[in-house]
Amino acid sequence: MAGRNRRLQHKTAGIEEFLRVAEALSFSRAAESLGQASSATSKSVAKLEARLGVRLFHRTTRSVKLTEEGALLYARASRWAEELEEMQSVFLQDPEELGGVIRLEMPASLGRALVLPVLGRFLSAHPKLKIEVRMNDHHVNLVAEGVDLALRVGQLSNDDLVAKPLGVLRQGTYACPNCLSTFGRPGVPNDLLSHRLISLVPPSGRHRPMVYCIEGNDIAIDTRGAVATFTNGEAMVDAAIAGIGITQAPEIYARQAVRSGALIQVLTGQDAPGNPVQLVYPSRRRLPRRVRALKDFMVDTLLGESALCQDRH
């Protein structure tokens, strides 16, 4: 038995290091995730390559890429690693008990409004888990930053990410009572052209129009003449509460203000849905059980969130 164990250890030596490098495409980041020196990771992979008689990575001073043989090994070894993890979980004292750290990235405002209120329930169900939350309004390289799961808003341009759609943001148009009494209450979208508008200006620097849908037709209201512009949806709602003007923003940011009477929703039922929201994770990464559990929990929970609708029209 001891001899068999030694042979098995010899055959699998370097596989974990190889998988980490293949997922991070970096020896230094892989070594950091393993808690070992970069030289140790490189040596383990080199021994694996020597044992298999193939080169697994193309290495330059600036990049690391899988060879054809490396991609084939990754496809098979990653499945083996997932099966091994599942097999080990069967023999745990509590097969459902999850531990470790999950690194989650999400936009600051939407993350606070949509995700944080439900995270406590997930952590209560898995007391040995820890979550490292990074609030970031700019998209980062998930692999390079070691992020397991991210909440993303808008269309994805990265084919290396797997996306789980959650819906599209439900929009609303809001103003405070004093603003409406002073400047009038719009009845149709074109009435906004003579109103004091609050506009969103994303990092691209281009004013985002206020978009409405009437009988299946989209109507875009030009906001380049807005009295105030913001880069953040929550700030736009705060500006509307302060009486600066009228704004179109995700419904989830204005809920409390509408309930308290600080804001009044206008043009109800005419707002077009906003941007799509999705959970994403790297396509070249094995999802540990703890990450899969959080992904499934968030999909199940957020698909029923009233702030999201499932159809753009």
pLDDT at 8 over 90: no
Final residue in a domain of this structure, among 66, 90, 114: 90
Q: Let me know whether 165 and 279 are in one domain.
A: yes
Q: Let me know whether 207 and 245 are in one domain.
A: yes
pLDDT at residue 43, as a whole number: 92
> At 240, which CATH number?
3.40.190.10
pLDDT at 2 over 60: no
| pLDDT tens digits along 79-134 | 777 667 666 655 554 555 777 788 899 998 899 999 999 999 999 998 888 888 98
Final residue in a domain of this structure, among 232, 248, 266: 266
Q: How far apart are CA 83 and CA 277, in angstroms?
A: 31
Q: Let me know whether 18 and 79 are in one domain.
A: yes
Q: What 3-state DSSP class applies to 94?
A: coil
pLDDT at residue 22, as a whole number: 85
Torsion of the alpha carbons at 47, 50, 53 and 58, rounded to the nearest 10? 70
Residue 95 lies in a domain: no
pLDDT at residue 89, as a whole number: 57
CA-only gyration radius of the chain, Å: 25
Q: Residue for token digits 């890429």? A: 65
pLDDT at 6 over 60: no
Q: How far apart are CA 292 and CA 240, in angstroms?
A: 39
pLDDT at residue 174, as a whole number: 97
Structure tokens at 97: 């008990």
Q: Tell me how many domains the chain contains.
A: 3
Q: Let me know whether 200 and 258 are in one domain.
A: yes
Q: Let me know whether 6 and 80 are in one domain.
A: yes
Q: Let me know whether 197 and 217 are in one domain.
A: yes
Q: Let me know whether 215 and 144 are in one domain.
A: no
Q: Let me know whether 68 and 46 are in one domain.
A: yes
| Complete DSSP assignment for 258-287 | HHHTS-EEESTT-BPP--EEEEEEETTS--
Final residue in a domain of this structure, among 51, 69, 90: 90
Q: Let me know whether 61 and 197 are in one domain.
A: no
> By residue range, what is the domain housing residue 30?
2-90
Q: Let me know whether 176 and 256 are in one domain.
A: yes
Q: Let me know whether 76 and 156 are in one domain.
A: no
Residue 249 lies in a domain: yes
Q: Let me know whether 83 and 14 are in one domain.
A: yes
Q: How far apart are CA 210 and CA 247, in angstroms?
A: 8
